[in-house]
Amino acid sequence: MLGFLHLRGSTHPRVSWCVFRSTIQASLPPLPPTHTHLTQKATLCLCVTNSNSLRPPRSPAGRRDPIFLRDHLTSQQRDQHASYSQGPSPQGSKPGGSATPGIRLRTRLAVTALFGAGILGTWWYVHREKEQRHQQQRMEQLRKVAVGQGDFSLLDHEGRRRSKRDFLGGWTLLYFGFTHCPDICPDELDKMSSVVRILDEDAGLPRVQPLFITVDPERDDVAAMRRYVRDFHPRLIGLTGTTEEVKQAGRDYRVYASAGPKDEDGDYIVDHTILIYLVNPDGLFLDYYNRMKDDKQIAQSIRNHMKNYVKLFPD
């Protein structure tokens, strides 16, 4: 329902009062659920104009038809009427306020992410510095240990004098045993030879030198060592020497060896440590492998040591 009230003042302006009832609001396009209160309110408009500036438009029939008047209004005027009828904004709301919580949330998330990244970066930097200091200290300790360690001087199976210096710069597998060993020493030398062959299949790895040092110099002379090493890997070098030289070599690697009692034929068994030692290019003992380790496990361990190897002594 629509009504007009016209008043005139002393200066002849026209004061127009118009009231839009819910009938017009119902005929307008549907409003959002949050504006359902608009249909329950009337719209009050006050227009002050000159006497001839604005007249209520008339329908073709000459009547003030509410529907005609509604259609005559521009969209801007309808928007103004709608804004007048809304009354006070809901408590705590502002124009454009619906986007504000999202912006605030994104800002808080961004600040939290930056703060967390800063903490993580600081922790990583401190951890890395600590690891580097630990690595430097370990390198210094290894340098001290490596100097003079296992500096043996023995004869190879060709009668040439060999020392640890002859094998520096390369990886070495070392086994202590004796040629009269019935089964354990041949098995371990076979396993060591298999490890060397496995590593040789990888062209990207350095070659490994296998060494066999006797713990029974009384029977294992140069000739005996020459005959014995032929049954294993072609690069295997047998080393022997005097009793004192052999004991010194074993002592440097903490090898236990003790000859047992002799039988009627003068034969005896030597009880000794059964380990394969890994020596790096700096001459430093890195790892050992007992009888429980097979050739594939040993080869994989050596690969890992090669991958993580850091040179101790500069050229």
The CATH number of the domain holding residue 167 is 3.40.30.10
Q: Same domain, yes or no, for 160 and 141? A: no
Provide the pLDDT confidence category of residue 195 given band limits of 50, 70 and 90.
Answer: very high
pLDDT at 190: 97
User: How many domains would you assign to the chain?
Assistant: 3
| Encoded tokens for 283 | 């001459």
Residue 222 to residue 237: CA distance in whole angstroms:
11
Within-domain flag for 94: no
pLDDT at 251: 86
Q: Picking from 16-25, 189-198, 302-311, which range would have the lowest pLDDT averaged per residue?
A: 16-25
Containing 132, the helix (H) or strand (E) segment is: helix 100-146
Higher pLDDT, 56 or 297: 297
pTM given for the model: 0.56
Cα distances (Å, whole numbers) of residue 241 to 163, 208, 217:
12, 23, 6
DSSP assignment, residue 141?
A: H
Within-domain flag for 220: yes
Residues spanned by the domain of 295 = 153-307
Q: Same domain, yes or no, for 72 and 118? A: no
Within-domain flag for 97: no
Within-domain flag for 315: no
Average pLDDT over residues 16-27: 44
Q: Same domain, yes or no, for 136 and 168? A: no
Q: Which of 95, 123, 146 is the last residue of a domain?
A: 146
pLDDT at 29: 54
**Residue 272 is labelled as binding a ligand:** yes
φ, ψ of residue 129 to 5 degrees: the values are -60, -40
Nearest by Cα to 196 from 209, 212, 205, 213? 209
The answer, yes or no, to whether residue 41 has pLDDT greater than 70, is no
Provide the pLDDT confidence category of residue 12 given band limits of 50, 70 and 90.
Answer: very low
Within-domain flag for 109: yes
**Residue 45 is labelled as binding a ligand:** no
Over the stretch 142-170, which tens digit does the pLDDT of each residue have?
555 554 466 789 999 999 999 988 999 99
Q: Same domain, yes or no, for 111 and 228? A: no
Residues 20-26: contacts with CB under 8 Å, at least 24 apart: 20/45, 20/81, 20/85, 23/66, 24/66, 24/70, 25/85
Within-domain flag for 95: no
DSSP assignment, residue 9?
A: -
Within-domain flag for 137: yes
Provide the pLDDT confidence category of residue 25 given band limits of 50, 70 and 90.
Answer: very low
Provide the pLDDT confidence category of residue 58 given band limits of 50, 70 and 90.
Answer: low
pLDDT at 22: 44
The answer, yes or no, to whether residue 254 has pLDDT greater than 60, is yes
Residue 143 to residue 135: CA distance in whole angstroms:
12
The answer, yes or no, to whether residue 250 has pLDDT greater than 60, is yes
pLDDT at 78: 52
Enumerate the β-bridge partners of residue 239. Answer: 156, 213
Within-domain flag for 90: no
Give the whole-number percent of the chain exceeding pLDDT 70.
Answer: 62
Q: Same domain, yes or no, for 162 and 295? A: yes
Higher pLDDT, 222 or 89: 222
Q: Picking from 28-37, 184-193, 218-227, 264-273, which range would have the lowest pLDDT averaged per residue?
A: 28-37
Q: Same domain, yes or no, for 140 and 160? A: no
**Residue 185 is labelled as binding a ligand:** yes
Q: Same domain, yes or no, for 42 and 70? A: yes
Q: Same domain, yes or no, for 181 and 295? A: yes
Q: Picking from 83-87, 177-181, 272-276, which range would have the lowest pLDDT averaged per residue?
A: 83-87
pLDDT at 158: 95
Q: Same domain, yes or no, for 39 and 129? A: no
Q: Which residues of 240-266 are buried (b: 16+ CB within 10 A; e: fewer)?
A: bbeeebbebbbeebebebeeeeeeeee
The answer, yes or no, to whether residue 292 has pLDDT greater than 50, is yes
Q: Please state, rounded to an integer, the average pLDDT across all residues of the chain.
A: 76
Q: Same domain, yes or no, for 157 and 250? A: yes
Q: Same domain, yes or no, for 170 and 296? A: yes
Over the stretch 75-132, which tens digit does the pLDDT of each residue have?
445 555 444 444 444 444 444 445 577 678 888 888 888 888 889 888 888 888 887 7
Provide the pLDDT confidence category of residue 222 given band limits of 50, 70 and 90.
Answer: very high
Q: Same domain, yes or no, for 232 and 269? A: yes
